[in-house]
């Protein structure tokens, strides 16, 4: 992982705000979540549960209302049919766009040598259902989401797409409640690490795949070297290069050498394609 503070951050913010200022949702959100027109309060986020959720998300919660909506599946409205409540579907729509933009920006900055096609392939992995479910698992969303009977049964039977949708709704709730920077913080510090772990698992062990590929093509082993170490002792960041026949094929950054090596191997595989 690489976390960069860029001098053009204000440009990113301006462009981003320009996009969402023009969307119907942005206009709607200012009205719907104003003090004069707040959605009816569910009340299921007690003080204790709210504190637990804050710890899971790593961000402050100013308004419980928007997070309660983010955690309300449409099936639950059938249980509370007489009340004017909203499901998380509209928030999913906004959260999907926020996630895509922040991940696109992250990949654009951290993989400067990848082509448009290569960046698109990598982004698809970061915003896939598998990735969203990994985050849902890390956040223990099953403990918070409100479901109707049919959805509860579907979840028990293995239909977990509603959890992926809830993650997108949570991203939108953070964006509405605390702004773009907090949404970006959440994604980079909670989302990206979870995806890095996912990409390193059995079917995405890039070091293993690269080893097999270099053996087949060049009859050599790839080697990994630490190019740079930075950050305080308790939060080291490593820049590692992967070499094939003494030629640098890719670099990767991470808070452990193992993680950085996986990113470097992934980069090298894209080059070898």
For the annotated catalytic residues, the residue numbers are 96, 168
Cα–Cα distance for residue pair 74/64, rounded to 1 Å: 18
Cα–Cα distance for residue pair 23/15, rounded to 1 Å: 13
> Among 108, 104, 143, which Cα is nearest to 124's?
104
How distant, in Å, are the alpha carbons of 38, 72, 192, 209 from that of 203? 45, 33, 18, 9
Cα–Cα distance for residue pair 150/220, rounded to 1 Å: 55
Cα–Cα distance for residue pair 49/62, rounded to 1 Å: 14
């Amino acid at each position: 992982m690489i976390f960069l503070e860029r001098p053009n951050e204000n440009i990113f913010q301006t462009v981003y705000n320009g996009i969402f200022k023009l969307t119907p949702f942005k206009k709607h959100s200012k009205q719907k979540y104003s003090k004069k027109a707040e959605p009816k309060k569910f009340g299921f986020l007690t003080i204790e549960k709210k504190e637990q959720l804050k710890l899971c998300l790593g961000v402050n919660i100013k308004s419980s209302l928007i997070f309660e909506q983010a955690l309300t599946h449409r099936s639950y409205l059938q249980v509370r049919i007489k009340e004017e409540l909203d499901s998380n579907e509209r928030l999913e729509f906004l959260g999907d766009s926020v996630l895509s933009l922040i991940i696109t920006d992250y990949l654009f900055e951290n993989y400067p040598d990848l082509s448009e096609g290569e960046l698109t392939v990598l982004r698809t992995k970061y915003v896939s259902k598998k990735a969203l479910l990994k985050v849902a698992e890390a956040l223990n969303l099953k403990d918070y989401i409100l479901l109707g009977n049919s959805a509860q049964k579907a979840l028990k039977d293995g239909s977990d797409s509603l959890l992926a949708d809830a993650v997108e709704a949570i991203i939108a709730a953070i964006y509405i409640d605390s702004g773009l920077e907090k949404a970006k913080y959440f994604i980079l510090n909670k989302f990206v690490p979870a995806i890095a772990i996912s990409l390193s698992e059995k079917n995405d062990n890039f070091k293993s795949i690269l080893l097999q590929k270099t053996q087949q093509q060049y009859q050599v082993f790839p080697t990994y070297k630490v190019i740079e170490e930075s950050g305080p002792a308790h939060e080291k960041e490593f820049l590692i290069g992967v070499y094939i026949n003494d030629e640098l094929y890719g670099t990767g950054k991470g808070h452990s050498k193992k993680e950085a090596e996986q990113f470097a191997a992934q980069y090298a595989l894209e080059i070898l394609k």
